[in-house]
Structure 1
Amino acid sequence: MTIQPLRVVQWATGTVGQAALRHFIGNPHFQPVGVLVTNPDKVGRDAGELVGLPAIGLAATDDVEAILALDADCVHFAPLLPDVDTVCRLLRSGKNVVSPLGPVYASEPFRADVEKIEAACREGGVSFHGTGIHPGFIGDILPLTLTRLSDRIDRIQVFEIADKLKTPSVYIEYMGFGLSPDELAARPNCMTGAMHAFAQSMAFVVEGLGKRIGDVTERHEIALATHDIAYEGGVICAGTVAGQHWEWTALVDGAPFLVYHLYYRMGEDMTPAWNLGESRHRILVEGAPSFELTLAASPEADGHLPFLGITWTALLGATAIPAVCAAAPGFVTHMDLGIVKPLGLARA
């Protein structure tokens, strides 16, 4: 039986967008029909060329109206910043949307956005799914799935540990690395209010277990560079921020139940020395029985262990597209999708 390829649009070609576009080009179950770019230097370039592949005969555009007018099954929407209004325009145009920017769950701070998205889905007869590695997978559907191995759960801890010196990204600047502690405290950055985004995943897990979150607390620790640290985007000067630990705790029945740890750092030469080891994700379930799961990249040929957060963010969205296109119209979460069955992964 021949399955008609899904016609997809890649919206934005940053690091996440490039990884998704590369998947769409290589997977026979997808047919890229549009690429939206915001960098003028990319306009008119072939989609394949943008991701280091042979040309496929599809030129990138910055014309939003042209993208809206396309006959497409789904848009993988991956700009740098959320844009619910544009998402709703895409949905009303009859295109399903999958986005690593979320929202991923209708927790209270995002309820209004979810309601707008639901209304646009009904108008367009399509669905929306928010996903990503974290929020969107490592802190919600994965730990909730692991709870089936439990008789009783006292606490769940989720760790994201990333050495951005080994795998540089725009988040080095956007998170305020290289600032003094006072500058970091005074300037809003991409982590300002991040607790609410991650609390979506917390609500997903806790409500999936039949409980409700009473409150979420936040703690932020920093570590300072012990000497100048050069990276491809500049220098983290000695005495400036080289490590950040964000900790969010969801209280259930008055006790800490779900704790997220986000450790981002620029190498190990900092004080205090956290000695975190290689980049990885880790889930620790404490109870009866207690157990843990570690998710990390395999070593590359040169022994390098990359942090695959960006790649996994793209692929979690891309591989969900067939299920989202097949879903009933509306805002769909992991609960609604059930077990996602990706297409085209087993190929030469």
Structure 2
Amino acid sequence: MTQRKYRVIQWATGVVGQAALKHFIENPVIDLVGVAVTNPDKLGKDAGDLVGLPPTGVIATDNVEALVALDADCVFFAGLVKDLDLFERLLRSGKNIVSPAGPFFPTDRYKADFDRLEAACAAGGTSFHGCGVHPGFSGDILPLTLTRLMNRVDLIEVTEVIDKIRNPMVYTEMMGFGRDPEELLANPSRSAEAPYAFEGSMRMVVEGLGKSIERLTTRLEVATAIQDIPYSLGIGLPDTGVVKQGTVAGQHFEWTAWADGKPLIVYHFYWVMGEHVTPQWLTGPSCYKVAIHGDPPLEVHLMGGIGEDGERPFLGLPWTGLVGATAVPAVCDAAPGIVTHLDLGIVQPKGLVR
């Protein structure tokens, strides 16, 4: 069977971008035609070198104009934050976009953003798809699919648990670990806009169940270190900091979407700096968990497989890259406009069996 090949530009090569880049290089239905980087150390390097693969002949660049001018079917944008000006240029130039940076699912709060993207899609005959694991797969596609196994749904809880000692990330410092507990509760490090970025996933589930979100509430509690906790910002890197005893070593964010006067879907985020904290929220490996209360009750855990070290790694960031990368052909084949998970339906990834 012959298959169409899709010409793809990888934009940004952090952990998420590297997972997608590796997939594009190894997938036989993808032609990698460009790689955008911002790190000077990566400029001029072959795309294969960036992910430990043989040379591809595609050289990393920061030349935006040259990338916009490339003949490509899709740009996989893995920057940390959305860039609507760039998105408009790319869409108008005839390139579809898959973006783990969002925006994800149309809500009133981000209507202006989606209006801009819709206009650019119409001008370029292209599609835009915001995707991810959370917001995204674990908080919308997965729970909504699982409701097919329910007779009655009373409450859906989606929980993200990350042990940031076993699974270090660059976000540790920016998220306020090591701060005074009362100070962080009064002025959280996580953006006040964050719950609304996840509202699209909540809306997808709530409206999929025939209801609408009446209000969105938030709550934050913290855990503290019972001893000094050294930490690293990446696997294999030396310790770069210490969370002092008595400072913030755990955060539990709780965001609730209400319907018919009661909670219908709750997102929990437990971020913990290992075991030497109080209260201790860790009860197992880092994972995503979906619990559906109703008839019959249901619970599913989504986690990495056991690695060579006997541990289960937290794969949230690589999965964020892959859930978007595997949707690229479907987005390219979709009708022009905003393409949500609901529009894509059951994605049938191409090139995975090889």
The TM-score, its normalising length taken from structure 1, stands at 0.97
Does the CA contact (< 8 Å) of 1:175 and 1:191 recur in 2? no
Give the corresponding residue for 2:150: 150
Q: CA deviation at 1:188?
A: 6.0
Does the CA contact (< 8 Å) of 1:161 and 1:276 recur in 2? no
Mapped partners of 2:80, 2:45: distance in 1: 20
1:331 to 2:330 alignment: no
Count matched residues: 347
Give the stretch that moved more between structures: 266-275 or 187-196: 187-196
Give the stretch that moved more between structures: 208-217 or 228-237: 228-237
- Match for 1:245: what amino acid? H
- Match for 2:298: what amino acid? F
Which ranges of structure 1 fall in alignment gaps of 5 or more residues? none
1:13 to 2:6 alignment: no
Give the corresponding residue for 1:260: 267
1:133 to 2:133 alignment: yes
Give the corresponding residue for 1:172: 172
List per-residue Cα deviations over 1:159-208 (Å, max 9, x = no partner): 11111111111111221112222443465644432110111111111111
Taking structure 1 as reference, are residues 187 and 48 closer, same or farther at Cα in structure 2, changes over 3 Å only? Answer: farther
Taking structure 1 as reference, are residues 244 and 188 closer, same or farther at Cα in structure 2, changes over 3 Å only? Answer: closer
Give the corresponding residue for 1:196: 196
Mapped partners of 1:225, 1:149: distance in 2: 41
Taking structure 1 as reference, are residues 189 and 275 closer, same or farther at Cα in structure 2, changes over 3 Å only? Answer: closer
Mapped partners of 1:189, 1:12: distance in 2: 24
Give the corresponding residue for 2:280: 273
Does the CA contact (< 8 Å) of 1:283 and 1:292 recur in 2? yes
SS across alignment from 2:161: strand
SS across alignment from 2:138: coil
Give the corresponding residue for 2:74: 74
Mapped partners of 1:117, 1:188: distance in 2: 31
1:290-329 alignment runs, 5 A limit: 290-329=297-336
Which ranges of structure 2 fall in alignment gaps of 5 or more residues? 233-239
Give the corresponding residue for 1:120: 120
Give the corresponding residue for 1:89: 89
- Match for 1:210: what amino acid? G
SS across alignment from 2:61: coil
Taking structure 1 as reference, are residues 153 and 111 closer, same or farther at Cα in structure 2, changes over 3 Å only? Answer: same
- Match for 1:48: what amino acid? G
Taking structure 1 as reference, are residues 188 and 41 closer, same or farther at Cα in structure 2, changes over 3 Å only? Answer: farther
1:250 to 2:257 alignment: yes
List per-residue Cα deviations over 1:148-168 (Å, max 9, x = no partner): 111111111111111111111
Does the CA contact (< 8 Å) of 1:228 and 1:236 recur in 2? yes
Mapped partners of 1:17, 1:179: distance in 2: 30
Mapped partners of 2:174, 2:126: distance in 1: 33
Does the CA contact (< 8 Å) of 1:27 and 1:345 recur in 2? yes
Q: CA deviation at 1:60?
A: 0.3
Mapped partners of 1:183, 1:344: distance in 2: 50
Does the CA contact (< 8 Å) of 2:254 and 2:267 recur in 1? yes
Identity %: 59
Give the stretch that moved more between structures: 14-23 or 179-188: 179-188
SS across alignment from 1:336: helix
Give the corresponding residue for 1:235: 242
CA RMSD of aligned residues (A): 1.3
Give the corresponding residue for 1:99: 99
1:345 to 2:346 alignment: no
List per-residue Cα deviations over 1:199-237 (Å, max 9, x = no partner): 111111111111111001000011111111112232222
- Match for 1:39: what amino acid? N
Does the CA contact (< 8 Å) of 1:230 and 1:236 recur in 2? yes
Q: CA deviation at 1:107?
A: 1.2
- Match for 2:329: what amino acid? P
List per-residue Cα deviations over 1:51-103 (Å, max 9, x = no partner): 11111111100011111000001000011122122111111111000011111
List per-residue Cα deviations over 1:287-333 (Å, max 9, x = no partner): 11111111111111220210010111000000000100000000010
